[in-house]
Amino acid sequence: ASTAATSVSISGDLSSQLHSGYSHPLARSWQAERQLTKSMLIYPLFISDQDDEEVLIPSLPNQYRRGINRLVPFLEPLVRKGLQSVILFGVPLAPGVKDALGTAADDPEGPVIKSIRLLRERFPQLYICADVCLCEYTSHGHCGILREDGTLNNHLSVDRISDVAMAYANAGAHCVAPSDMNDGRIRAIKLKLIEEGISHQVMLMSYAAKFSGCLYGPFRDAAGSQPSFGDRRCYQLPPGGRGLARRAIIRDINEGADVIMVKPAGQYLDIISDAKELGKDLPIAAYQVSGEFAMIHAGAKAGVFDLKAMAFESHEGILRAGATIVVSYFVPEFLDWLSV
Ligand code: PBG
Ligand code: ZN
C-alpha cells in the first residue's frame, strides 16, 4: 500500500516546508531585509528658552523639555552609548515672544540656533537635524503665515520658512527638516541653499507625507504648539489620502529633497512602502510620533504587552515597510537594548 498520502513525498512539492528557514534565532534575523541599528535612529529634543529648565512632559513618558544648559550633561552619556543623531525642536516660553510671523523661529539668540552651535562644538560626531516650522513660534499656533480669513498664505509662508531653514543651516545644522506642509517649500529651501553655496553640505529632509490626526497631542503639549483656532487639516494630509501622499512624495523628490519622511509611522506603513517604491534611490525616514509612543507606554502600563517587546515590534514593522531612518522617542532605550 502507498504511504504517500500520509507522509511527505520525497518526489513531490516541498514548498510546505518553511520552519527550517527560521528555527534558529540568527536565521530568524536573516529573514528581515534590514536590522535596527543605532545609526538609523534620530532622537527628538525639545529645547526651551529657559536656559536652566528641565521639565517632564506629562503626556510624553520620560521625555523632558530642557534649556540649553541642561543639554550637554543629558547628551553626554547617550553619545557615549552610541547616539548618532538628534532632531531639535525649539520651545519659546518667554512671555510675548510669539507673533503672527513666528519671528522668534530664527532669532540668533533663540534656543535652536544656540543649541546647533553648542552641539556642533561639544559633540563633533553628532549629526544635527533641525525641524523647521513656525507653529512653535506663531501666536496663532499654525504652521505658516495666515491671511485675514485664517487660511494659510502659502507664498509668504514658504518665503519665511525657507529663511528659517537657511538660518539653521548657516548655524551648522547638518540637516534641515521642514514639517510645515506648505506647498513648494522644498524647492524654495533647496534654491536658497544653492544660492548660499552650502547645498552640498546640508541635507534636506522633507516631511513629505505628514498626515493630520490625533497622534500629535503630546508633542503639542511639549512644544506649546496647539493651534489657537481650527486645526491643521487644510495642510496636513487626510488619513485616507494614499494617492495624495504619493503625489506629495513625488513632488518633494522632484523639488530636491534628499530624504523623504512619512509620519506618523505605525498607521501609515503602506505609505512608507509607497515612499520606498517611489523614492527607491533615496533614504526613507519614518517618525514614530508622540501619540504612538504614548500609546505604547499606556498599553505596557495596562499590562497589554511588554514595553521593550512592543518597542522592537513597532520599529521592526517600520523597517519592514521600507524605512531606513527612524525618528523615535525610544532612542535612549534602544541605545541600551541594541548593545546586548
Ligand atoms: C511641527 C511638528 C509636529 C511634529 C513634528 N513637527 C507637530 C504638528 O505638526 O502638529 C509632531 C511630532 C510628534 O507628534 O511627535 N509642525
Ligand atoms: Zn508646524
Span 272-317, pLDDT tens digits: 999 999 999 999 999 999 999 999 999 999 999 999 999 999 999 9
**Mutual angle of helices 307-321 and 269-278, in 10-degree steps:** 30
**How would residue 1 be classed by pLDDT, with cut points 50, 70 and 90?**
very low
Report the residue count for the chain: 340
Indicate if the pLDDT at residue 14 is higher than 90: no
Atom 10 of ligand 1 has which residue's CA nearest to it?
A: 216
* Number of the ligand 1 atom closest to the C-alpha atom of 289: 15
> Do 159 and 187 touch, CB atoms closer than 8 A?
no
> Which of 264, 256, 112, 243 minimizes the C-alpha distance to 179?
264
The answer to whether the CB of 224 falls within 8 A of the CB of 172 is no
The rounded Å distance from CA 133 to ligand 2 centre is: 5
Looking at residue 7, its pLDDT comes to 59
Distance between Cα 18 and ligand 2 center (Å): 47
Three-state DSSP class for residue 153: coil
Q: What is the mean pLDDT of residues 217-243?
A: 95
Q: What is the mean pLDDT of the chain?
A: 96
Task: Tell if the pTM clears 0.80, that is, is over it.
Answer: yes
Q: Are 315 and 306 in contact (CB under 8 A)?
A: no
Residue in the block written with cell 529648565: 53
pLDDT of residue 16: 87
Q: Place 15 in a pLDDT band, splitting at 50, 70 and 90.
A: confident
Amino acid of residue 5: A
Task: Give residue 219 CA to ligand 1 midpoint distance, Å.
Answer: 6
Q: What is the pLDDT of residue 37?
A: 98
Is the model's pLDDT at 227 over the cut of 70?
yes
Considering the chain, what percentage of its residues have pLDDT values greater than 70?
97
Q: Mean pLDDT, to the nearest integer, of 218-228? A: 93
One DSSP character per residue, 199-250 reads TTT-EEEEEEEEB-SSTTHHHHHHHT---SSS-STTTSBPTT-HHHHHHHHH
Q: Which residue has the cell 544635527?
A: 128
44 vs 9, higher pLDDT? 44
- What ipTM was estimated for this complex? 0.98
Would you name the residues annotated as active-site residues? 210, 263
| Ligand 1 atom nearest to CA at 293 | 15
Q: Cα separation of 124 and 166, whole Å?
A: 21
Ligand nearest to the CA of 102: 2
Take atom 12 of ligand 1 and give the residue whose Cα is closest. Answer: 289
pLDDT score of 242: 98
Mean pLDDT (whole number) for 222-251: 96
Residue 110 pLDDT exceeds 50? yes
Ligand 1 binding pocket includes 290 (Cβ within 6 Å): yes
Residue 210 banded pLDDT, cuts 50, 70, 90:
very high
Between the alpha carbon of residue 69 and those of residues 111, 112, 121, 185, 238, the distances in Å are: 10, 13, 14, 33, 39
Q: What is the mean pLDDT of residues 154-175?
A: 98
- Which atom belonging to ligand 1 lies closest to the Cα atom of 216? 14
Q: Is 136 in the pocket of ligand 1 (CB under 6 A)?
A: no
pLDDT at 98: 97
Burial class (CB in 10 A: 0-12, 13-18, 19+), 228: exposed
Strands of 15-148, DSSP E? 41-48, 54-56, 64-67, 85-91, 127-132
Q: Is the CB of 138 under 6 A from ligand 1?
A: no
Buried b / exposed e over 322-335, threshold 16 CB at 10 Å, is bbbbbbbbbbbebb
Helix, strand or coil, per DSSP, at residue 30: coil
Q: Of the ranges 12-16, 73-77, 230-234, which is most confident?
A: 73-77
Residue 322 has pLDDT above 60, yes or no: yes
Maximal C-alpha separation, the chain:
91
Average of pLDDT values for 200-215?
97
Residue with cell 532605550: 333
Q: How many C-beta atoms surround the C-beta of residue 262 within 10 A?
A: 29
Q: How far is the CA of 216 from the centre of ligand 1 (A)?
A: 6
Nearest to 334, CA basis, from 1, 78, 47, 134:
78
| 20 conformational bin, left if phi > 0, alpha if psi -120 to 50, beta if neither | alpha
d(CA 165, CA 137): 14
Strand-pair partners of 54: 66
Q: For residue 135, how far is its CA from the centre of ligand 1 (angstroms)? A: 9
pLDDT at 5 over 60: no
Query: Residues near 170 by Cβ (< 8 Å), separated by ≥ 6?
Result: 196, 198
- Torsion over CA: 120, 335, 39, 308 (sign): negative
* Closest ligand 1 atom, residue 218 Cα: 14
Q: Return the C-alpha cell found at 174.
A: 547638518
From first CA to last CA, the distance across the chain in angstroms is: 55
Residue 144 is given by DSSP the state: S
Ligand nearest 286 Cα, by number? 1
The answer to whether the beta carbons of residues 36 and 315 sit under 8 Å apart is: yes
Question: How confident is the model at residue 163, as a pLDDT?
Answer: 98
